[in-house]
Structure 1
C-alpha cells in the first residue's frame, strides 16, 4: 500500500465541519490489533497507565499514526505540517455507567476555544468496539458550543465511535463527548492523541473538487443548524480570511433583529446571529463591537467570533477594545485579532503592551495571538521571549507553541527556549522542544538533539526487565 496520505474528499470535509467528527478505519490485519491489545492488557496490569509515554511504550502505535488514512485525514483538516502534541492518553473503560459530558481542556482552562479547526484529536480503538463495550459518545454539531445545550441524562442524537478493531474517530478538539456504559465488562481501550496545525490554511489541503460550500447530503443534527458559520469555516479552510465581510445588503430591520438575537441566552441562536452580523459590513461590526463590551461575558465572547469573521474593517474597533478595563473584553478582542492574522499586523504594538497585563488569561491569549498573526515581526518574537519567562504556566507553554508557528523568524528565541527546557512544567518543556524543531536553525537542532538524547527513554525497560536483554 502506498504511504501517500489518503486525503478526505469534499463530502467528508463537509461532515467534519457540520458534525465535528468522522469515523474512519485503518486496514491493518487483525493480528496487529490483537497483539497490541494483548500488550496493553499486560502493561496496564503490571505497570499502570503510561500516560504521556504511551507512544514510546508501545512502539507499534507509531505505525497507526503513519497509516495513510490517518495522515490523510489529519492533513486534510490541519494542513500538511501538523504537530503531534506531547499530551496523549490511553483511556481504559470497564465501567457499566456512562461518564460525564465534557470538552477537553488545553492543560489549563483559560484558553478561548477556536471555531476554526486549529486543533483536532484522534481517538483510536485497538479492539473491536461494539456499543456494548462502551465506545466514546459524541454529540454531533456541538464543537462550537461553550455551554452544554442538552440534558446530561437525555442524549437523543448521540453518535458513537463504534466499529471493528482499527476504528478511529477524528474529532474537532472542542466537541462535547463522553464515555458510554461498558455493559460487557471487558477491557476497552481508547488511545487519544492530540494534534494542532502549525500554519493557517492558504488553500484546501484535502481532495477538493468544489469551491463553493454546500451542506452534506441528508444532514440531521440533534440541536442546531449553523449554515453561515459552516460556510465561513469552509472558506477559512480554503484559505480565505473574512469571507463573510460585506456579503449582505444593508437591512436595518434585519440588523436590529440580529442585535436582539445576539443576547439570546440559548447559545445556538446567538451563535447564528454573530456570524450573520459579520456579513453586514460597518453596521454589523458596530453591533458586534457593542456586543464585545456587553456586560454579559457570554455575549462578549460570542461577539468576538463574529468580529473575527468580519474582516479587516473590524480591526480598528478591536484595537480600541484592547484598552478596555475589563479583562474579558481585552481577552476576546485579542483572540479576534489573532484570527484575523496578517490583516492585524498594526495591532502588534498594542498587544506588546499587554504582556505585562495583570491577568494571566489575557497574557496567555496575547501569546497565542502573536503566533496566529505570524509574519517576521521581531516585536512578536521579543514578546514571546518575555512570555516564556512569565510566572504563569499557561502563558509559558502557549509562548512555545506560538514560536513554533513563527518558525525560522523566531531564531532569536532559541536561547530562551533552551532555558525553558529546564522548566518545572512538562508542557512548557515539550512546547519548547517543538519550537526548536520548527525554527530549524543549526543552533536549534543541536539543542534539540542534545535534549532528546539526554532524556532518551528505553522502550523495553520495566521493573521486571531492568537491563537484559
Structure 2
C-alpha cells in the first residue's frame, strides 16, 4: 500500500459508526507539527480573530491534516471516494469553565430534513493534547437520528469525549447531539471543525469490507438504544442495497397492530423502530406507512417518510401519489423519501419538477435536494436544477449547486448558470457553484472556475499587520 493511500475503516469500525454515530481516531504527525500549528492559531486568533471559512487558506499547513491516510480513509469509508470538503469550516476556541449546551449543528444557519443515511459527516480535529480537563468536545452516542434530545439538558451519563493526544479527531455523523465540555485548566483549547458531503450514492462498500451481512458491534457505548432494523438498513444502504428491509418482518395482524401504534409513540426512539420495522412488513406495512405519511401529524408523517425511504421501489407509486396532497408536510416528506430511494425514484422526477412552481420554499428546498440524489434522467434533472439556481429563496439556490455536484459531468448544460451563480451575494451559493463546476469537470466548466478563482484570489499572507510587504 502507498504511504498516502487511504487507511480504510474495517467492518467493526463501520458498525460502531452506524450505531454510535462517531469514531475517535488519531493521526501520527510529529509533536513539532502540532506545536507549530497551535502557535499559528494563537497568532491568528490574537491579531486577526477567528478566520472562519478562511481557516484552511489562512493556516495552510492544515491541508496536510486532511491529506493524512487515517482521515482520508475514514472519510472514504463513510462518504465514498469522491467526498467533498465543504466551504464552511470553523475553528472553535474554548477557554470557558462552563459547559456548552447540547445541540445539533444547523446547515450554515439554515435547516432541512435531516438524513438518517450518512450523506454528511464532520471532523473535529484537536491540534493540542486535550485531556478531559481541557474541555474536549462531548458527544452523546447513538443520538444522530433523533430530532428530540431524549436526555436531560445537563445529563452527562454515557457521554463520550474526544480526549487524547494532539492529532486526535472525532469523525461524527453530521446530526449527532454534541457540546463543548468545561475547560477546567484555563489553557487555550482549539478544535478545528470541517464538514464533508457524499457526492455519489453508494454502489458498493467503500470501507475494508469483509462481511456482507449486518451484525451488531461487539460492544455498545452506553446509553445507546437498540435500532436493529435502522442499523441493518444503513449498513445495506452503504453497501449499495436500496430497500433491503422489504419483506423481512412478520406481518401478522398482532404484530402489525403493535407497530401501527408504535410509530405514534411519544418516545422518539421507539417510534423510529416502528417506522423501520413497518418498512419490512410488505404491502401491509407499506399501507400503514403511507397512511401515516398522508394523515399523521407532522412528526409522525416525517417518521413514515423515513420508513418509506427504506421500503424500496414498492413505495414509489404511493409516494408519487402523495406528492399531489394538499398538505404541505405530506408533499415535503414524500419528496424527501423519494430522494433517499435514489435512482430507483427516477419515475417520480416529472412530478417532483412540477412542485418547483409551488409557493412553499420548504417544499422547493426538499425537491431540489431530492433531484440531485435521484440524478436521473440527467437531462431533466439538470434542467430543473438550472431553474433552482435562479430561485428567489437562497437555500433553494445553494442546494441546487450541491445537487448539481451529485449529477456530476452529466450536468454540463448547467455550466453557464453555475458561472452566473458564482457572483451570487450568498457565500454558499457561490461556493457550491464553484464546487459543481469542479465536479462537472468539462473544459468549459474548468475555464469558468479558473477565471472566477483568479478574480477572487485571496492572499493568505496578507494581514492587517502585513498588508503587502514582505
TM-score for both structures, normalised by structure 1: 0.99
Structure 1 stretch displaced more, 144-153 or 107-116: 107-116
Tell me, yes or no, if structure 1 residue 458 matches structure 2 residue 459.
yes
Tell me, yes or no, if structure 1 residue 390 matches structure 2 residue 399.
no
Tell me, yes or no, if structure 1 residue 419 matches structure 2 residue 420.
yes
Structure 1 stretch displaced more, 433-442 or 215-224: 215-224
SS state at 1:279 partner:
coil
Correspondence for 1:35: 36
Q: Is the 8 A contact 1:110 1:361 kept in 2?
A: no
Correspondence for 2:233: 232
Correspondence for 2:46: 45
Within 5 Å, give how 1:171-250 maps onto structure 2. Answer: 171-250=172-251
- Once the two structures are TM-superposed, the CA of residue 248 in structure 1 deviates from its matched residue by 2.3
Distance in 1 (alpha carbons) for counterparts of 2:102 and 2:137: 10
Q: Is the 8 A contact 1:120 1:196 kept in 2?
A: yes
- Once the two structures are TM-superposed, the CA of residue 47 in structure 1 deviates from its matched residue by 0.4
Q: Deviations over 1:34-60 (max 9, x none)?
A: 110011011100000000000000000
Distance in 2 (alpha carbons) for counterparts of 1:70 and 1:310: 33
- Once the two structures are TM-superposed, the CA of residue 160 in structure 1 deviates from its matched residue by 0.4
Distance in 1 (alpha carbons) for counterparts of 2:250 and 2:271: 21
Correspondence for 1:107: 108
Within 5 Å, give how 1:250-329 maps onto structure 2. Answer: 250-329=251-330
Correspondence for 1:66: 67
Q: Deviations over 1:125-161 (max 9, x none)?
A: 0000011100000000000001111000122100001
SS state at 2:207 partner:
coil
Gapped runs of 5+ residues in structure 1?
none
Q: Deviations over 1:84-135 (max 9, x none)?
A: 0000000000111111111111124431111000000000000000111000
Distance in 1 (alpha carbons) for counterparts of 2:131 and 2:260: 46
Correspondence for 1:134: 135
Q: Is the 8 A contact 1:143 1:176 kept in 2?
A: yes
Distance in 1 (alpha carbons) for counterparts of 2:297 and 2:178: 27
SS state at 2:281 partner:
helix
- Give the 4+ runs in structure 1 shifted more than 2 A: 107-110
Distance in 2 (alpha carbons) for counterparts of 1:297 and 1:184: 45
Gapped runs of 5+ residues in structure 2?
none
Q: Is the 8 A contact 1:108 1:394 kept in 2?
A: no
Q: Is the 8 A contact 1:20 1:175 kept in 2?
A: yes
Distance in 2 (alpha carbons) for counterparts of 1:81 and 1:457: 26
Q: Is the 8 A contact 1:8 1:207 kept in 2?
A: yes
Q: Is the 8 A contact 1:285 1:307 kept in 2?
A: yes
Q: Is the 8 A contact 2:251 2:285 kept in 1?
A: no
Within 5 Å, give how 1:347-426 maps onto structure 2. Answer: 347-426=348-427
- Once the two structures are TM-superposed, the CA of residue 250 in structure 1 deviates from its matched residue by 2.9
Q: Deviations over 1:170-227 (max 9, x none)?
A: 0000000000000111110000000001001111000011111111112243141101
Distance in 1 (alpha carbons) for counterparts of 2:232 and 2:414: 38
Correspondence for 1:150: 151
Q: Deviations over 1:392-440 (max 9, x none)?
A: 1100000000001001111111111011011000000000001101111
Distance in 2 (alpha carbons) for counterparts of 1:336 and 1:214: 26
SS state at 2:91 partner:
strand
Correspondence for 2:124: 123
Correspondence for 2:10: 9
- For the aligned residues, what is the CA RMSD? 0.9
Q: Is the 8 A contact 1:89 1:191 kept in 2?
A: yes
Correspondence for 2:83: 82
Structure 1 stretch displaced more, 104-113 or 122-131: 104-113
Correspondence for 2:162: 161
Distance in 2 (alpha carbons) for counterparts of 1:222 and 1:192: 26
Q: 1:221 to 1:212 in 2, by over 3 A?
A: same
Within 5 Å, give how 1:415-454 maps onto structure 2. Answer: 415-454=416-455
- Once the two structures are TM-superposed, the CA of residue 455 in structure 1 deviates from its matched residue by 1.0
Q: Is the 8 A contact 2:346 2:377 kept in 1?
A: no
